[in-house]
Structure 1
């Protein structure tokens, strides 16, 4: 896509009413533990991090919220761009039984979402919830606080990352840090999946040596 350069004061904005405000965030897979000890796998896209604390937006009536409020261990797994179909296949599945009334038209109950998505549960090292083996970047985490939203429709989960696992192919050997030039996460924008575009620049604080 070729965009014209924006000159000072040249944009004529219009007022719109978008259905969602997902301007572009990483899509991820969150794994929690069901009451019977089996894993629940779910896609999500409301995510940000500060230091080792992950902040996740999770629907209140889903199995993920139910599980994490009972057993705080979880994993956050980031698929690469070529794995977007796995997220798509999970978008209409729920671990809740019976399916909540608000989801009944779009969702169906699926107890084994790993198999449904063609993914593999990989044991974690410090938490009870497994990781997603096919994801190149995985966080083992534990929920520290769950704050209900003003309307009660979702929770803000604050989860501390306890261990980070990465495919060596996306790690900078010199610094031991994730090399963003080798990492291709899925970006979720207005209900569409995208791969990351070209690098535009970097901050002086980046630990990755510039070639």
Structure 2
């Protein structure tokens, strides 16, 4: 039997992305998100309008999509409730967000120069996609506070061990992406780390993580 519970959250699971972008003063911003999907050499990103990343993408027109493995969950969770924008809406304050101007340091990750865009890559991420913004659209109806960005992948950097030898393909067995499913972190089908974001969003989860 199927129920019709009127689901509050439709977030069945997508890869976590660390978006690096440039702030107005030229410093780097780093933001975790997981509303992303790919088709050919394009990617769609869903971002809240109050985010510093949204302002940066609209202004700079470029970014890097860094894909962490499940083993990097600690770094991602360290910046899960941070924002690069000093002025926060009340909703973020209630959820426990705090202003953090240097997210690379907080995440304990390393900036790496990109080839084709000004935004830095995350050196520790096995997959790094340099992108330019193609278009931006309001998303979710007239009262929405979100933007859908279409970005074009200009260059993909992939850890050598993840590339099938002699091909241009990623090994799907070797690649273990960090997945966010209903605000919880998963890798290889298992919950891998407690989530600050789930706590901030008051998700009714009581998960015992298996750290990998």
TM category (shorter chain) comes to 0.7 to 0.9
Q: Which moved more, 1:188-197 or 1:24-33?
A: 188-197
Following superposition, which runs of at least 4 residues in structure 1 exceed 6 angstroms of deviation?
none
Unaligned runs of 5+ in 1: 1-11, 199-211
Instruction: Give the greater-gyration-radius structure (CA).
Output: 1
Name the residue aligned to 2:68.
Answer: 79
* Aligned mate of 2:184, from 189, 192, 197: 192
Matched with 1:90 is 79
Q: What is residue 126 of structure 1 aligned with on the other side? A: 116
In 1, Cα distance between the equivalents of 2:189 and 2:164? 20
Matched-pair contact (CA < 8 Å) for 1:59–1:65: yes
Pairing partner for 1:66 from 47, 55, 70: 55
Which of 10, 13, 28 pairs up with 1:21?
10
1:42 and 2:31 correspond: yes
Hey, what does 1:155 align to over in structure 2? 147
Tell me the CA shift for residue 103 of structure 1. 1.2
Q: Distance in 1 between matches of 2:89 and 2:103?
A: 17
Aligned-pair CA distance for 1:197: 4.2
Deviates more, 1:65-74 or 1:188-197: 188-197
Unaligned runs of 5+ in 2: 191-212
| Residues 77-105 of structure 1: per-residue CA shift (max 9 Å, x gap) | 11001111212111110000122333122
Aligned to 2:205: none
Contact kept, 8 Å, 1:60 with 1:152, in 2: the verdict is no
Of the three residues 134, 138, 142, the one matched with 1:144 is 134
Aligned residue number for residue 102 of structure 2:
112
Do the aligned partners of 2:17 and 2:33 also contact (CA within 8 Å) in 1? yes
Alignment equivalent of 2:162, drawn from 145, 170, 177: 170
**Could you tell me the TM-score, scaled by structure 1's length?**
0.85
Tell me the number of residue pairs that the alignment of Structure 1 and Structure 2 aligns. 187
Deviation for aligned residue 1:191: 1.1
Q: CA RMSD in A?
A: 1.3
Which SS does the other structure have where 2:156 is aligned?
strand
